[in-house]
Amino acid sequence: MTHARQHTIQVVAHRGASEDAPEHTLAAYMKAIEDGADALECDVRLTADGHLVCVHDRRVNRTSNGRGAVSALELADLAALDFGAWRDSAESPDWDPARGQAPGEFTSVLTLERLLELVSDAGRRVELAIETKHPTRWAGQVEERLLHLLRRFGLDAPAADEPSPVRIMSFSARSLHRVAAAAPTLPTVYLMQFVSPRLRDGRLPAGSHIAGPGIRIVRNHPGYIARLHRAGHRVHVWTVNEPEDVDLCVRLGVEAIITNRPKQVLSQLGRL
């Protein structure tokens, strides 16, 4: 089903075009930009020597050919691993690691700094949705390093008359409160796996600007989206991969869809 849009729903590539290429790799993010994604979603963790890297899990076991916790490894340790070896490229014909990149760089660990460079060189506006992972042994340091890096790229304080190209997301209200206190103009997204009883009326924790419910919340409690909108909050839904879920998000008027399949969702929305 193709939709005529009354408002443009932002399509956010979840860990890059992660259905077509290994998640959180340069390959996945380049594919997402090529496919036309409006924004890129990434998870960030802090290495033992203080670098922010784009890795979802606490440990690298699932997504690389190595083992160990990200927080206990240095960047050089992570750089020696292959974060694409676990994916079968035969099952993902759109993933071509030979397209103009050395395979090592294409599937090596991706630093947030490198991702920011990729976005700045994209040739069009591509936003970033950066999720801080918790709990962590580096309490508070993740947000501190993140804001320092954004400051280096001039992204920590967007102009008052322009929407921010970066937003910070977390399941941790404490993390978002830290970000809001240090960089009050940066949008923050409070991610939810379930609706807390104290927030059922549409409120969000202090320091949160945007609601980020999972698609299961949207399916099971569609009326909650209306309450969030009545409370003045935008709604960004994760992870929306199935056509019927895209249809549901369109009917409910959400502002952003976070998906592993940005090209397919853009096509369904009539934007390709």
CB 44 within 8 A of CB 146: yes
Domains with residue ranges and CATH for the chain = 10-268 (3.20.20.190)
209-254: pLDDT as tens digits: 999 999 999 999 999 999 999 999 999 999 999 999 999 999 999 9
- pLDDT at residue 244 in the model: 98
Give catalytic residues, as residue numbers.
14, 56
- pLDDT at residue 134 in the model: 83
pLDDT beneath 50, residues of the chain: 2-5, 92-93, 98-103
- pLDDT at residue 86 in the model: 73
256-259 vs 210-213, strand pairing mode? unpaired
Whether omega before 243 lies within 30 degrees of 0, making that bond cis, reads: no
What is the 3 state secondary structure string of 222-239? HHHHHHHHHCCCEEEEEC
- pLDDT at residue 160 in the model: 76
Instruction: Give the distance, in angstroms, between the CA of residue 187 and the centroid of all CA atoms in the same chain.
Output: 13
The identity of residue 194, as a single letter, is F
Which region, left, alpha or beta, applies to residue 154 given φ > 0 means left and ψ of -120 to 50 means alpha? left
39-46 vs 52-53, strand pairing mode? antiparallel
β partners of residue 10: 256
Instruction: Give the distance, in angstroms, between the CA of residue 92 and the centroid of all CA atoms in the same chain.
Output: 21
